[in-house]
Structure 1
């Protein structure tokens, strides 16, 4: 009997949940819907979650995992300035894949206004983003790419607000701003004294 690869199975289920959300909203993303979408047994699905609330938490965790994975990949960019911009850019819908995922995330954020369990996860993820941005700003200071007297808390608050604002505009009113314009804005906020690195594939 073939051994189950739980990571592959997890990714398969996450993708199924996201498809259901995109096609039918939160109501369609049910345990029964995932079983029908994947063709997996009830037992296989319930290994990962057994309730509607658990399903939503599972899907949100999958979103966070994807972002963290891409940030780790971006952290391998050799040039320090490009690395910082690339890592932070993974928090924004500058490509088709990140636009899709952040659109799904927005659905959960809206639902979280009336769902304490989802609200808790949204808050935890927002806190993790704030910690990540704090690390980025501190690293830029240590690397000499930001002034040594930078007010870290203020800069992180500003950066976070810009990311959220650009993300909201790109998702809801994309005609007002392009992905390239958003990417350029993030670069200016992160590295106001640096020239903008050449962008790669942000407008696809």
Structure 2
């Protein structure tokens, strides 16, 4: 019988290996040879999935968005609209090891995106996906009369910029996770009003 290959498991293994290389050596360290050494796969096995360096980097960039989406989808819903949204915002921050891993990889791509349009496009997809989630949530708040001083798009832009800034400060160890949480909650509290009367 032919051996059954778990493609999802193989993708997860490749993701871990590529991200590990990026975190240690930057994007310049991502080669098929280095990935073979890091993953334990042969070069031929890697090329079966990812035929060249460009494909590897595109794969790694795409996995950032997929991982972010998985983290957002895994958050339980409590029924408290403010807390539920705050929880979704917090999960995009590097408050623990898993969050640090994918945000360190994200930051490497952001740096490359300044001068490389392909990477800029890849990061743009992640930005648009997250921004779309924020706009939709703020749109719901606006319909309930809880967002008096912003349009949903303006609120999404403001909170997204805050998240990006907090993420960098956390990665550089300039603030603590608790400081980041307090700052984010305070900002959201200023934007959303009268939620306590929403029942």
Please state whether the residue corresponding to 1:74 is helix, strand or coil: coil
- The number of aligned residues is 192
1:167 aligns with 2:167: yes
Rounded to whole Å, the distance in 1 between the matches of 2:145 and 2:18 is 41
Q: Structure 1: give runs of 5+ residues left out of the alignment.
A: 196-204
Question: Aligned partners of 2:84 and 2:27: how far apart in 1?
Answer: 36
> Against the structure 1 CA distance between its residues 103 and 81, is the aligned structure 2 distance closer, same or farther, given a 3 Å change threshold?
same
Aligned to 1:118: 119
How much does 1:78 deviate? Answer: 4.1
Aligned equivalents of 1:10, 1:47: Cα separation in 2: 12
Structure 1 residue 26: deviation in Å?
1.8
What's the counterpart of residue 28 of structure 2? 27
The offset of 1:125, in angstroms, is 1.6
Match of 2:107 in 1: 106
CA shift in 2, pair 1:155/1:43, >3 Å:
same
In the TM superposition, what whole-angstrom CA distance separates every residue of 1:22-66 from its partner, at most 9, and x where no partner exists?
Answer: 222222221121122222233432233212111111011111111
C-alpha contact 2:136 2:152 (8 A) present in aligned 1: no
Q: What is the rounded CA distance, in whole Å, between the counterparts of 2:149 and 2:161 in structure 1?
A: 21
Take 2:140 and 2:14, find their aligned partners in 1: how far apart are those partners?
36
Match of 2:183 in 1: 185
For the Cα contact (< 8 Å) 2:109–2:119, is it kept in 1? Answer: yes
- Determine the C-alpha separation between the residues in 2 that align with 1:76 and 1:5: 31
Shift of 1:127: 1.6
Normalised to the residue count of structure 2, the TM-score between the two structures is: 0.86
Matching residue of 2:80: 79
